[in-house]
């Protein structure tokens, strides 16, 4: 036992602070957990979405392929149409995300007449190689994301997005 005597005032102070803190925490914990829920929610991996683009029509030149899926945004369910830039490398299908890695605008293939073999972002003139590699000296700091892509009954099907594996 220590020789420091705890005065009645100190004891009451500690007790009240402890009980009060416990009560305040019990009140605030549910509300804070409620607020941070979106950060902690697990999202399931996306399924493949069938497009109406025939695989045999895909060449080595990227084409824009739109795909529509049902998106559940909390209580709001809606049809959302996204797009991908799809081309063939040999027999392999490649699908790149059109979302610029600078600030999220949408890139176009050959959008800049001076660079007809590159992706171009109109917002801040970011450019990418065909495989999504960002070009040094333009704003983007990383390569375009890549979609999982597969052939289903002769048509292109687009899956989940993942970091670029080509560069």
Partner 1 sequence: MLNKLYDWVDERLDITPIWRDIADHEVPEHVNPAHHFSAFVYCFGGLTFFITVIQILSGMFLTMYYVPDIENAWQSVYYLQNEVAFGEIVRGMHHWGASLVVVMIFLHTLRVFFTGSYKKPRELNWVVGVMLFGVILGLSFTGYLLPWDMKALFATKVGIEIAASVPLIGGMIKVLLAGDSTILGAQTLTRFFAIHVFFLPAALLGLLAAHFIMIRRQGISGPL
Binding site for partner 1 (CB under 8 A): 27-31, 33-35, 37, 40, 74-76
Nearer to partner 1, 44 or 90 (CB): 44
- What are the distances in angstroms from CA 27 to CA 14, 39, 58? 20, 21, 59
Q: Considering all CA atoms of the chain, what is the largest pairwise distance in Å, rounded to the nearest integer?
A: 88
**Three-state DSSP class for 8?**
helix
Q: In the complex, what is the shortest distance from the CB of residue 47 to partner 1, in angstroms, rounded to a whole number?
A: 21
Q: How far is the CB of 30 from partner 1 (least distance, A)?
A: 4
In terms of CB distance, is 39 or 141 closer to partner 1? Answer: 39
93: CB partners within 8 A, 6+ apart: 55, 58, 86, 87, 149, 150, 151, 156
Minimum CB separation of residue 160 from partner 1 in Å reads 22
Residue nearer to partner 1 on the CB measure, 26 or 90: 26
Q: Least distance from C-beta 43 to partner 1, angstroms?
A: 13
- In whole angstroms, give the CA distance from residue 122 to residue 92: 29
Q: Measured between alpha carbons, how far is 100 from 142 in angstroms, rounded to an integer?
A: 9
Q: What are the φ/ψ torsions at residue 109 (nearest 5 degrees)?
A: -75, 130
CB of 81 to partner 1, least distance (A): 21
Residue among 33 and 124 whose Cβ is closer to partner 1:
33
Q: How far apart are CA 89 and CA 108, in angstroms?
A: 19
């Amino acid at each position: 036992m220590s020789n420091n005597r705890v005065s009645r005032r100190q004891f009451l102070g500690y007790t009240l602070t402890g009980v009060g803190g416990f009560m305040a925490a019990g009140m605030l914990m549910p509300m804070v957990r409620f607020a941070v829920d979106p950060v902690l929610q697990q999202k399931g991996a996306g399924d493949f979405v069938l497009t109406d683009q025939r695989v045999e029509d895909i060449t080595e030149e990227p084409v824009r392929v739109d795909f529509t899926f049902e998106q559940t945004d909390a209580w709001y369910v809606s049809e959302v149409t996204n797009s991908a830039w799809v081309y063939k490398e040999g027999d392999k299908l490649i699908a790149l995300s059109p979302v610029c890695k600078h600030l999220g605008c949408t890139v176009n293939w050959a959008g800049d007449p001076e660079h007809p073999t590159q992706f171009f972002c109109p917002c801040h003139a970011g450019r990418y190689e065909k495989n999504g590699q960002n070009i040094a000296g333009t704003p983007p700091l990383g390569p375009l994301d890549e979609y999982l892509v597969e052939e289903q009954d002769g048509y292109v099907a687009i899956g989940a997005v993942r970091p670029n594996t080509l560069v």
